[in-house]
Structure 1
Amino acid sequence: MARAGAGALMNYLAQNLDSLRKLHPALVQATQDSAGGSLTIVASKEGSPSATQGGHWVHSGYDPRKEARAWAEARLLKWKEGELGVVLGVGLLYHVEALASIKSPGSRLAVVVPDAAALKDAASVRPMGAWFTAIEWIWGTPEAMAEQLAAKSAPLRFMTYAPAARLHAEAHGDMEARLRRVIAARQGGQLHVAVVGPIYGGSLPVARHVVTALESLGHRVTWLDQSPHRASYDLFGSYREPRHRLTMQGRFADMLSLGVITHLAEDPPDLVLALAQAPLNLSVLEHLRKKKFLTAMWFVENHRHLTYWQQLAGGYDYWFVIQQAGCFDALKRAGARQVQYLPMAADPAQHRPLTLTPSEQNEYGADVSFVGAGYANRRKLLPEWLSKDWSFKLWGNEWEGADDVKPVLQRGGARIDTETCIKVFNATAVNLNLHSCSGDGLDPEADFVNPRTFELAACGAFQLVDDRSLLPDLFASDEMIRFTSAAQVPPLIRTWLADATGRHAIAAAARRRVLAHHTYEHRMKDLLAAIGMQQPDRIGAMVRGDRNAGALARRADSPPELTTLLRRFPSDQRVELKDVAAGIRANGAGRELAREELLILMLDSYRSETRDLV
């Protein structure tokens, strides 16, 4: 461990670890065995030891205790009684000490230690005091830490001390992803989610799948479908002057935004979930935040090609994206606070194996097929993959002027619906899945995985797909055949056309993977779990079922009068103040109401008067 002024700094390692030995012997042993030295210890201006790492300050170089106190007081504003506070970021533990000193007596505090070497650095430079043994230590591999947190009975309130947490960002991310999966599997409550779709485009069918998935999971969904306004929107496209056309279309979208607010005012949801290109402008999103509504965007687009997110990044509470790395960084630079990876999926109720009639097989079937729009790279590559050795059918629109593929273009290049796509997938021996890009070859920045990958797999259809950096995390090599160059495709087609048994085995494996991990129900569980981890007292409580009548009635702090009222509801029904009030009104006619009932009616009346959004 490099030190500046090391002679003035005592090594307290033995003293601090001895205090932990009885409670956490394995952690103490791992800390002693570790090398330490991830931090450079320096004396602060105030005199206390501080630390840097890679040229960045982990604690203040002037007064680390004062800085830690300010950080802890800000965290305390959101930390609710009964929640387990979980700190990410070890450093020299000044921030944890500050939290321990100001938390309420009934609150519990835990610290995540992905690497025992980090604890060794902290324990070596200063005495920790009694608080050191009073907190809970979560340590080990990401999987082990997720299991430890999942076993806790209290809701979790994560608190990130960013200067120290960045040292173990990958381990924290892995742990949180594993924990989200556990939380997703345990969901048992009901939310009211308002889903806002686009006027048109590729995310419109995704929005409909989202609605179906949320309803299948038992949530109440308000579907704010904007697609009926498509015809009106398109009318503005007749203007010859682009400036006039864009102005009118923009104002029309603004009007639809106000319509969304009106719907939300009449039936306020727990969460507003928008899909890419939903007509919600920044002023509407800021208005929703002012009114304490939670908002999330599932941006199922390539952030490099569609960049309107730059104006909206700060407007949504949560962003869910189909890319990682650069996409995360770009959104956060633009003002997004929370960004999570959420890949595409399939809807097995729609995307499914079909038994086709002979006439359907004849109409939709071919040795090789491609379904999709005529983007530049597809216009260049698909003609290279035509051959007299196999039949080829091309389905989709926007192929005007592509004379090389005109002989195989079906229905004159008309757009086809979902059911037709599914028939083509099922009827084809080798389905080509070529992701779009603006160049004339394979995508040079191939990362996200398109919906067609999951939909083909869910249909039990065999596909050849251009390789993507995120694909190995979704499908194993024996579940999906990839190609990395255009020249590989014709030999692959020839090989797999000759191996029907192999095609069927790979397609069946891909379908099993989708059904087990990649449906829209899986994605919505993950989305709600991610938000619930950040909002344990709101979305988290609802998802866990803590707002269900049975759970509320069992709470130790529920007065007997309220427990009696709650028992009028089914145990698994979510109950809010308005529901209890409605029950009192329905059952209170002709009798004198108890004091508690009158208080509930009064609070509900106040809630009704103050909820207006418009």
Structure 2
Amino acid sequence: MSGSLDVVFLGLSITSSWGNGHATTYRALARALAAAGHRVLFLERDVPWYAENRDLAAPPWCDVQLYGGVAELRERFGDRLRAADLAVVGSYVPDGREVARLVQELARGITAFYDIDTPVTMAALARGDCAYLAAELVPGFDLYLSFTGGPMLRRIERELGARAARALYCSADPEVHRPAPHPPRWDLGYVGTYSADRQPALERLLLEPARRRGGARFAVAGPQYPADVRWPGNVDRIEHLPPTAHAAFYAAQRYTLNVTRADMVRAGWSPSVRLFEAAACGTPVLSDRWPGIDAFFAPGREILLAASTTEALAILDRLPDQERHAIGERARRRVLAEHTATHRAEALVGFVREARERNARRRARVRKEIAQGERG
């Protein structure tokens, strides 16, 4: 496949990172696609909570258009969907089922569902209460792009009838995420929106260590934490940290914490953007354990794993600075080699090529069967 692609994303948000991790992923991917010469249009539902918290209203590397509903989407952007080489519907899009049906009806190029919440989606589909996707829509997409890899990909194909499930993970931008020379301000920090199923791990691996090490400094950045969370006095709270401030936040930590939602721990192979961004900054990552984490970073060499407060404290207390720096540097090299937005954009273009070839083979097979039927 040669030449540039005309790509249309219909995602949760690219203009606001408030309370969601989707914007960071879409920004990095759209920027990398544009740098490679592809044209990107991002269609975002105009909702008040993002309108009030837009930290990138007009990205310079893609066209962003807001719409008010599915009818307006059809009227204003139907021609763009018909002309697109690739039309991608993301998870958690408002009225996502209707949006997916519209894309499958209008698009003449490759269509894809991009699941940034795969284990959550699969659980919701099993319960029959997924608001943004219906199981019967999955076979209608040429590609099912998943934030979760490993065995989950075959499960999506087997249980949902996806034509091709492929992992398209989050990434880091090495131009934005890089080491900084100033000394760390915090011993351990964390950035992430509140989630009830992540909170127990945050308690074990950051808040309880903070209670036991009153002379150390900690930080938690992110919105929507309940008022009844008991924050130790040595934990600094930052209500919202825009993506442009992430690199400085990571650089100001001796270690940064990664904790994972319960559904994603069970599924495994579900790296968060924190892993790649912090590693690209050379900040050592202390993470909870889940299947497949060693596919991204080598435990003990490129990432540090802990399941308990005792294990977390052992890392904070005993690891020499020289080894800490070495772990961070090895992780940074791994990100630059495998986990940048450029790698993800290249993978996506490859998946489109694969889908086109698969569709061409299918059309040729159908023509052959028709011809055989006519001769018979």
Deviates more, 1:388-397 or 1:449-458: 388-397
Deviation digits for residues 38-87 of structure 1 (CA, Å, limit 9, x no counterpart): xxxxxxxxxxxxxxxxxxxxxxxxxxxxxxxxxxxxxxxxxxxxxxxxxx
Matched residue, 1:393: 219
Residue 193 of structure 2 corresponds to residue 373 of structure 1: yes
Matched residue, 1:197: 11
8 Å CA contact 1:532–1:538 kept in 2: the answer is: no
**Separation in structure 2 between the aligned mates of residue 315 and residue 260 of structure 1, nearest angstrom:** 23
Residue 313 of structure 2 corresponds to residue 490 of structure 1: yes
Residue 174 of structure 2 corresponds to residue 354 of structure 1: no
Deviation digits for residues 455-491 of structure 1 (CA, Å, limit 9, x no counterpart): 1111111111112222212222311122244441111
Higher alpha-carbon Rg: 1
Work out which of the residue numbers 111, 116, 121 in structure 2 matches 1:300: 116
- The one-letter code sitting in structure 2 at the alignment partner of 1:193 is V
8 Å CA contact 2:222–2:240 kept in 1: the answer is: yes
**Separation in structure 2 between the aligned mates of residue 378 and residue 282 of structure 1, nearest angstrom:** 30
Matched residue, 2:48: 231
Residue 38 of structure 2 corresponds to residue 219 of structure 1: yes
Matched residue, 1:47: none
Matched residue, 1:104: none
Deviation digits for residues 134-183 of structure 1 (CA, Å, limit 9, x no counterpart): xxxxxxxxxxxxxxxxxxxxxxxxxxxxxxxxxxxxxxxxxxxxxxxxxx
8 Å CA contact 2:192–2:221 kept in 1: the answer is: yes
Work out which of the residue numbers 236, 253, 273 in structure 2 matches 1:410: 236
In the superposition, relative to structure 1, how do residues 233 and 467 fare at CA in structure 2: closer, same or farther (>3 Å)? closer
Q: 3-state DSSP class of the match of 1:343? A: coil
Work out which of the residue numbers 313, 316, 319 in structure 1 matches 2:138: 313
Residue 316 of structure 2 corresponds to residue 500 of structure 1: no
Matched residue, 1:42: none
Residue 272 of structure 2 corresponds to residue 450 of structure 1: yes
- The one-letter code sitting in structure 2 at the alignment partner of 1:254 is V
Residue 245 of structure 2 corresponds to residue 420 of structure 1: yes
Matched residue, 1:566: none
Matched residue, 1:469: 291
**Structure 1 residue 303, shift from structure 2 partner:** 2.1
**Separation in structure 1 between the aligned mates of residue 215 and residue 234 of structure 2, nearest angstrom:** 14
In the superposition, relative to structure 1, how do residues 354 and 233 fare at CA in structure 2: closer, same or farther (>3 Å)? closer
- The one-letter code sitting in structure 1 at the alignment partner of 2:21 is G
**Separation in structure 2 between the aligned mates of residue 279 and residue 256 of structure 1, nearest angstrom:** 13
User: How high is the sequence identity, in percent, across the aligned residues?
Assistant: 23
Deviation digits for residues 503-562 of structure 1 (CA, Å, limit 9, x no counterpart): 11111111111111111111121122122123139999xxxxxxxxxxxxxxxxxxxxxx
8 Å CA contact 1:531–1:539 kept in 2: the answer is: no
**Structure 1 residue 432, shift from structure 2 partner:** 1.5
- The one-letter code sitting in structure 2 at the alignment partner of 1:194 is V
Q: 3-state DSSP class of the match of 1:370? A: strand
8 Å CA contact 2:188–2:218 kept in 1: the answer is: yes
**Structure 1 residue 409, shift from structure 2 partner:** 4.7
Q: 3-state DSSP class of the match of 1:490? A: helix
Deviation digits for residues 186-232 of structure 1 (CA, Å, limit 9, x no counterpart): x76321112222146321221111110101112122233x16x1218
1:102-251 alignment runs, 5 A limit: 189-199=3-13, 201-224=20-43, 226=44, 229-231=46-48
**Structure 1 residue 408, shift from structure 2 partner:** 4.1
In the superposition, relative to structure 1, how do residues 434 and 273 fare at CA in structure 2: closer, same or farther (>3 Å)? same
Matched residue, 2:57: none
**Separation in structure 2 between the aligned mates of residue 468 and residue 274 of structure 1, nearest angstrom:** 28
**Structure 1 residue 278, shift from structure 2 partner:** 3.3
**Structure 1 residue 280, shift from structure 2 partner:** 6.5
Matched residue, 1:480: 303
Q: 3-state DSSP class of the match of 1:272? A: strand
Matched residue, 2:352: 531
In the superposition, relative to structure 1, how do residues 260 and 530 fare at CA in structure 2: closer, same or farther (>3 Å)? farther
Residue 331 of structure 2 corresponds to residue 510 of structure 1: yes
Q: 3-state DSSP class of the match of 1:420? A: helix
Q: 3-state DSSP class of the match of 1:303? A: helix
Matched residue, 1:178: none
Work out which of the residue numbers 242, 246, 258 in structure 1 matches 2:74: 258
Deviation digits for residues 98-153 of structure 1 (CA, Å, limit 9, x no counterpart): xxxxxxxxxxxxxxxxxxxxxxxxxxxxxxxxxxxxxxxxxxxxxxxxxxxxxxxx
**Separation in structure 2 between the aligned mates of residue 536 and residue 444 of structure 1, nearest angstrom:** 34
Matched residue, 1:337: 163
Q: 3-state DSSP class of the match of 2:357? A: coil
**Structure 1 residue 253, shift from structure 2 partner:** 4.5
**Separation in structure 2 between the aligned mates of residue 423 and residue 406 of structure 1, nearest angstrom:** 23
Deviation digits for residues 436-458 of structure 1 (CA, Å, limit 9, x no counterpart): 337xxx94554411111011111
8 Å CA contact 1:369–1:394 kept in 2: the answer is: yes
- Which structure 1 segments of 5+ residues have no match? 1-186, 236-250, 541-614
Deviation digits for residues 308-341 of structure 1 (CA, Å, limit 9, x no counterpart): 3444423422111122324542464234222112
**Separation in structure 2 between the aligned mates of residue 193 and residue 539 of structure 1, nearest angstrom:** 20
**Separation in structure 2 between the aligned mates of residue 365 and residue 259 of structure 1, nearest angstrom:** 52
- The one-letter code sitting in structure 2 at the alignment partner of 1:410 is D
**Separation in structure 1 between the aligned mates of residue 360 and residue 233 of structure 2, nearest angstrom:** 54
Q: TM-score, normalised by structure 2?
A: 0.75
Q: 3-state DSSP class of the match of 2:32? A: helix
Q: How many aligned residue pairs are there?
A: 324
**Separation in structure 1 between the aligned mates of residue 311 and residue 275 of structure 2, nearest angstrom:** 19
In the superposition, relative to structure 1, how do residues 287 and 300 fare at CA in structure 2: closer, same or farther (>3 Å)? closer
Q: 3-state DSSP class of the match of 1:336? A: coil
Q: TM-score, normalised by structure 1?
A: 0.48
Matched residue, 1:32: none
Deviation digits for residues 382-409 of structure 1 (CA, Å, limit 9, x no counterpart): 3222122522222222222344225345
